[in-house]
Chains A and B, each alone.
Chain A
């Protein structure tokens, strides 16, 4: 169905609760109020259209004579189309109801909104902070326009729980600690009954640096270098999403050759990311030989990236308006040779993950996320595709050179951890094919066109397919040299809800593999776990290494 037909249907269904709506290309924006938000979203949800992709908060700043307003945007996506509900609330007393009842995964996004923008979300269950540190002072909201660094000085005391204090609804919230009395902030909190996990939750915020705010202080160009460093593994895709958004706002179109070069880098980044994940996942299962070999092979793609751009990580290919580097014939030949080697090795890895008994024992049937769960809980990327949910922006909403060089999404219907391995390895083959094709038919032309220093007023949503799934950028300009708002929603944020709810009912020994199965984008070795045992009043603190070793010894020597 075309977006227009869909939008008509949607407008009709939610009509009674919406005061105004606008369409522009693939976007439908509807204004509603805090009181009518929940019925509007519920009616929308009944159409079973799309999934919640992000929630953006916008602070207008103080606007004379009133105090100004805060606008909250709820973005729902399906393929290229984006439906946004917009609610304006007064800055003096900003309050919206939680949409967690019709849309369970909203809870994590709403917490972020509450902590960073200071919007009171009624109906959110109590819990400690998710994104800001416990000693962050109360009533100081970093994303507000009047925020100053001095006001954020640590108070030295842990803050009281965030939340309105009302009883939660009947939906299950896998995110956020349920026990405000916790003293130790662990990355994960697991409650176990014997060997079985009965509750799992996550504490984010360890890598929260304040980038969205920092972006408002840096020029449009300077921000490319900031966005690149959101994640060292998928740095190029972040910069690409940002740059595509800015180019769209500025009305600049990068030339075809530039788009093709960007695509080559995107796919090569996907290759290095998946190989990295393969090694890390193998290490979690105790197969260190596979870890060593896959990382040795990964050096090939690192060398190629360095040959093309001069750096192994943070290649910095993007400019506003194009790319800095070209792929000449000599480089293209190196790339082809490297890919041939990698393809041979990848076939070997495929054989291992599909036929090695000891490996399968840890992955087959483990951590199964059904199609419906994946759909309802808003999962994205290979995690969703391994459950048969066909979400791949390169295919549904082609950007860069994907229109001319179409991708075949890799799907699997088995839904378990083994399927996630197979999907990522098959995606490697697909990426090899893509890079070769683009190199063979690289469009001629210039590498960049000029882009303005000041970007005209407007807002844009830029969505791309990172190695881990859909990456969502919202950009807003008020006509200056610096952005007014940059909102980034990384793919892993979408996948936590699914994986943590699925963790319940599994053995403790399976948890490391389940968590690593979504390819989480945070640091590798310092995640800590707080363990609560049924019948025990004290909490145990495990390091990630403890949990990993536990899983390995469970399967290799201790299990009966």
Chain B
């Protein structure tokens, strides 16, 4: 049992320290996406936290998504999420991803990313600053550390 516990702790430690991201834009204006990319640039440098941006959902642990989920993007968002191996988590960035933001009420959007896939952390802002996005990532990792988040996403 002690070995089991130690292995679990090691697994948790590795997940907290090596969160690989895959990014998905579900119809946003690009504002949030640019700020997400900016966090990889030298000034904010997410690699310090072990974050790597992956091209394929199969290599990722965390889905970082933006946008109010347009109807066409909805299915692709779902498929991207399904392609990720467990354990997986979701960070929704930007006001659009929470309520539709400035586009609330427009005909082609779903609005809340949480209506499509389970979301672990919402980062509000239009767009949120890179510091806020990093804070969102850190909050996710803190949740992990406190083992509140169950693998699969819902909290």
A and B touch in the complex (CB under 8 A): yes
Interface contact B41-A299, CB-CB below 8 Å: yes
Asked if A49 is at the interface of the complex by the 8 Å CB criterion, the answer is no
Q: Provided the pairs A229-B103, A231-B29 are in contact, do residues A545 and B55 lie with their beta carbons within 8 angstroms?
A: yes
Pick the contact of B76 from A279, A528, A546, A549 — CB < 8 Å? A528
Interface contact A525-B25, CB-CB below 8 Å: yes
Interface contact B71-A232, CB-CB below 8 Å: no
Pick the contact of B31 from A154, A235, A295, A544 — CB < 8 Å? A235
Asked if A454 is at the interface of the complex by the 8 Å CB criterion, the answer is no
- Distance between Cα atoms of A217 and B33 in the complex (Å): 27
| Chain B nearest Cβ from A482, distance in angstroms | 13
Q: Provided the pairs A205-B72, A526-B24 are in contact, do residues A231 and B107 lie with their beta carbons within 8 angstroms?
A: no
Asked if A433 is at the interface of the complex by the 8 Å CB criterion, the answer is no
Chain B positions within 8 Å of A298 at CB level: 41
Interface contact B107-A149, CB-CB below 8 Å: yes
Interface readout for A294-306 with B: 1 if CB under 8 Å, 0 if not? Answer: 0110110010000
Interface contact A208-B30, CB-CB below 8 Å: no
| Chain A nearest Cβ from B23, distance in angstroms | 5
Chain A positions within 8 Å of B15 at CB level: none
Asked if A449 is at the interface of the complex by the 8 Å CB criterion, the answer is no
Asked if A522 is at the interface of the complex by the 8 Å CB criterion, the answer is yes
- Distance between Cα atoms of A292 and B25 in the complex (Å): 21
Closest to A547 in B: B55
Interface readout for A116-154 with B: 1 if CB under 8 Å, 0 if not? Answer: 000000000000000011111000001000010100101
Dominant secondary structure at the A interface? loop
Interface contact A313-B107, CB-CB below 8 Å: no
Chain B positions within 8 Å of A526 at CB level: 23-25, 76, 80
| Chain A nearest Cβ from B92, distance in angstroms | 15
Interface contact A209-B37, CB-CB below 8 Å: no
Interface contact A214-B73, CB-CB below 8 Å: no
Asked if B14 is at the interface of the complex by the 8 Å CB criterion, the answer is no
Closest to B80 in A: A526
Pick the contact of B34 from A147, A229, A233 — CB < 8 Å? A233
Asked if A538 is at the interface of the complex by the 8 Å CB criterion, the answer is no
- Distance between Cα atoms of A522 and B25 in the complex (Å): 9
- Distance between Cα atoms of A454 and B24 in the complex (Å): 40
Q: Provided the pairs A209-B27, A210-B106, A292-B42 are in contact, do residues A546 and B127 lie with their beta carbons within 8 angstroms?
A: no
Interface residues of A (CB under 8 A from B): 132-136, 142, 147, 149, 152, 154, 185, 205-211, 213-214, 217, 225-226, 228-233, 235, 276, 279, 292-293, 295-296, 298-299, 302, 312-314, 521-526, 528, 543-546, 548-549
Interface residues of B (CB under 8 A from A): 23-25, 27-35, 37-38, 41-43, 55-56, 67-68, 70-74, 76, 80, 101-103, 105-109, 126-127, 129
